[in-house]
Amino acid sequence: MTAVTTYFSDVFKGLWTAMVGMSITLRYLFSKPVTEMYPDVKPKTPTRYRGIHVFEEEKCIGCYVCAKACPVDCIEIGVVRKGKEIKITKFDIDYQKCMFCDLCCEPCPAHCIHMGPEFEKASFTRRGTILQFATPKTLTEEEKKIEKIAKK
């Protein structure tokens, strides 16, 4: 191609491809938006969604396996063991550290900890990001002595 034909083909191509692109964007101008109205309409999370944990206290045997499996050590468990009776006094997960990797749920022998569908747990304080899953209990003096708090 000579310089002249290159020049004119450049001018033509510049205009033509711009028009091709503009036809595409114009088509989408009249198409339905794909966005979700997030805070108004909550998205439906799939069943396997890895959100804030769901903890079933009655099933928990206080074995610390989940806390050990956690790569970032964000689970803190307190247990009072009296013979066969098990009281979970503390089950805190620090969501500043948690990376929602699902590794705590897999080894649980009692299947008491799962990843849940919730994901909105922002907080204005650091304290607020540590969620306490165990129901609060008043402990007797004797129980306080044998309470074991483990963090990995």
What are the residues binding other proteins (CB under 8 A)? 7, 10-11, 13-14, 16-18, 20-22, 24-26, 28-35, 37, 45-50, 69, 71, 99-103, 115
Whether 90 and 78 have beta carbons less than 8 Å apart is answered as yes
CB of 11 to other proteins, least distance (A): 6
Percent helix, strand and coil across the chain, each to the nearest 5: 30, 20, 50
Q: Which is nearer to other proteins, 120 or 141 (CB)?
A: 120
Please report how close the Cβ of residue 138 comes to other proteins at its closest, in angstroms: 36
Nearer to other proteins, 46 or 136 (CB): 46
Name the DSSP class of 115. E
Q: Choose among 94, 88, 100, 92: nearest CA to 59.
A: 88
For residue 16, the minimal CB distance to other proteins (Å) is 8
Q: Report the residue number, 50 or 81, with the smaller CB distance to other proteins.
A: 50
Nearer to other proteins, 45 or 123 (CB): 45
CA distances in angstroms from 120 to 4, 5, 52, listed in the order given: 62, 61, 8
